[in-house]
Amino acid sequence: MGARRFILLGPPGAGKGTQSARLIEALGVPQISTGDLLRAARKAGTELGKQAQAYMDAGQLVPDALVLSLVEERLAREDARTGYILDGFPRNIAQAEALASRGIAVERVVNVVVDSSALLGRLTGRRVCQQCGATYHIQTAPTSREGVCDACGGVVSQRKDDDAAVIANRLEVYHRETSPLIEYYDRRGLLRSVDGLQTADVVFDAVLAALEN
């Protein structure tokens, strides 16, 4: 079988990361999250990470050239040969065009639909393990011990950009820059939408069904 390439689309807080973590196991392909790659670059103190910092802290998109160079490097790695789940990329039409111009055909784009009113609570309540990246929520998916990751025992904390003022910018950027991708992929016959307001288990079943249909 050929490589299986998928895109998870949706606003910040829709549950893309949560679903990707499950899909890695189910599909046996890696998740490629540009948000994770950018945070790793910042942590490592690379030049690219330093250049991305101000944009991320303000909830703006990092310039396409920086993101595309990270993606290029990641897609060239061995584990991406059998396919991948793109999470948080592409984030605008130019990034989608860059992907297409490399001759990369995606099999399916799943749009996780969550209305804006639910996103603020999702994002302000999100907590992330600093060590393994596992994602929690203070109400809907809490850790067993406060501040300690169930999976690896690492420290669980809040992302700096999960702050109300920055979230407002991120949602605005989503509507302006990213939501046009819904129509872009729909016109190409690749889009399926799932209701992201259901429990994570139910959403997962819907995502799997969408990938196969």
* 3-state per-residue secondary structure call for 53-69: HHHHHHCCCCCHHHHHH
Q: How far is the CB of 161 from ligand AMP (least distance, A)?
A: 6
Binding of residue 90 to ligand ADP (CB under 6 A): no
Backbone angles phi, psi at 108, to 5 degrees: -155, 145
Q: How far is the CB of 206 from ligand AMP (least distance, A)?
A: 21
Binding of residue 109 to ligand AMP (CB under 6 A): no
Determine which one of 39, 74, 91, 108 is catalytic: 91
Nearest to 48 by CA among 30, 62, 58, 31: 62
| 170 is known as an active-site residue | yes
Determine which one of 74, 108, 122, 126 is catalytic: 126
Q: How far is the CB of 188 from ligand ADP (least distance, A)?
A: 22
Which residue of 48, 61, 109, 119 would you call a contact of ligand AMP, by CB under 6 A?
61
Contacts with 165 (C-beta within 8 Å, 6 or more apart), sequence order: none
Which residue of 88, 111, 156, 184 would you call a contact of ligand AMP, by CB under 6 A?
88
| 91 is known as an active-site residue | yes
The H-assigned helical ranges of 106-163 are 116-124
Binding mask 145-184 for ligand ADP (x = CB under 6 A): ----------------------------------------
Interstrand relation of 108-113 and 83-87 (parallel, antiparallel or unpaired):
unpaired
The conformation of residue 144, written as its DSSP 8-state character, comes to S
Which of ligand AMP, ligand ADP, none does residue 13 bind to, with CB < 5 to 8 Å depending on kind? ligand ADP
What gap in Å lies between CA 18 and CA 33, rounded to an integer?
Answer: 12
Q: What DSSP string runs through 14-44?
A: SSHHHHHHHHHHHH---EEEHHHHHHHHHHH
| 108 is known as an active-site residue | no
Which of ligand AMP, ligand ADP, none does residue 108 bind to, with CB < 5 to 8 Å depending on kind? none
Binding of residue 12 to ligand AMP (CB under 6 A): yes
Cβ nearer to ligand AMP, comparing 29 with 98: 98
What gap in Å lies between CA 187 and CA 181, rounded to an integer?
Answer: 10
Q: How far is the CB of 37 from ligand AMP (least distance, A)?
A: 8
| 81 is known as an active-site residue | no
72-78: list long-range contacts, CB under 8 Å, 24+ apart: 74/32, 74/37, 75/32, 75/104
Residues noted as catalytic:
16, 91, 126, 159, 170
